Amino acid sequence: MSMPRLLRGADAIGEYLGISAAQVMHKHKQGQLPTFRVGGCPYATTGALDDWRTLYRAGKLPG
């Protein structure tokens, strides 16, 4: 297993998840992604996104 990376910005997070930057921002603002904000920019780790994706696909998360 590789080390989690820190992704900076909606474009990078969206590319990693296969969704648009607009979808990332919407989910970020709704608290539906494991992201955090520094200044005006969302950040996420690939490890947290992988965990979120697993739970989402299993139907254990809303949205």
Q: Residue 62 pLDDT > 80, yes or no?
A: no
The amino acid at residue 54 is T
Q: What are phi and psi of 9, to 5 degrees?
A: 95, 155
Name the DSSP letter for residue 45. Answer: E
Interval 2-13: pLDDT, tens: 788 999 999 999
pTM exceeds 0.75, yes or no: yes
